[in-house]
Structure 1
Amino acid sequence: MLSKKAQYAFKALMYMAEKKDNQPVLIAEIAKKKKIPLKFLENILLELKKAGILESKKGKGGGYFFKVAPKEVSMAKIMRLIDGPIAMLPCVSLYFYERCKNCDEKQCGLHDSMIQVRDATLKLLEKKTVADIAKH
């Protein structure tokens, strides 16, 4: 399940992507239009900036804007950045692998099924971008 933080990140990014001109957008504008708590949004956008997805400009005409085109930002990238693993079990995660306790992965039907779930999910999330999910 997507966390509230990830949902807010997607709402903010979609709002910015819908602008088309990539002009800086004030945090307060995004927070008001998308009903996101301002302080929470500040932290989310800062995280996206540190990850190289957004950039910011201070002063008059300032705000946040895309450093990378929305069509190049996959849903999977945002989900991993905000929520961590996409896989439902740590033993099938590509980026956050952890062995399950008391489990033999070679003999675990759950492990095998969750690999299929992970692969099907990633096939969609790696292909879909912020531009795809923004209203045009």
Structure 2
Amino acid sequence: MTPIGRHLTTDMYGCNRDHLTDLEFVKSAMLTSIKEAGLSVIDIIDHQTEPQGLTIIALLGQSHMSIHTFPQLNYAAVDIFTCGDYSHSDRVITILKRFLKPEKTRTTNIMRGDFGLQKDMKPRIRVSIAPLRRMRNTSARVWRFLRNR
């Protein structure tokens, strides 16, 4: 079965503090990036937190997007989940970067609904208990030897 959606989480570091406290600026940037990427907005909810920071959540025709700002850290956390065409979420993030101008970003890509079929979901390292047991047994033998002397 193919994945049903893609969830991108993007951490944006070193953003302009003034932009991160301006509700209208961030909301406008979010709406512009959504529309330019070809997605449709159903509803948008915003909240200004005290003493500073914003939370904006957009319900999209294709899923949802949220932005949480932390001006004291010059940081914004952006989540976007889209179903269908996975390129939309990449475009939204690219356009949003033009507005927030982060110095550094880190994006995590999560394929939703793949039911563990992706190779990257499998553990890469197999841990065996045998070496640990051998080491424990060896140290026990050394202690017995030293004790009997």
Same fold (TM over 0.5): no
Greater strand fraction, Structure 1 or Structure 2: 2
Highest relative contact order (Cα 8 Å, sep 6+), 1 or 2?
2
Larger Rg: 2
- With structure 2 as the length reference, what TM-score do the two structures score? 0.25
- With structure 1 as the length reference, what TM-score do the two structures score? 0.27
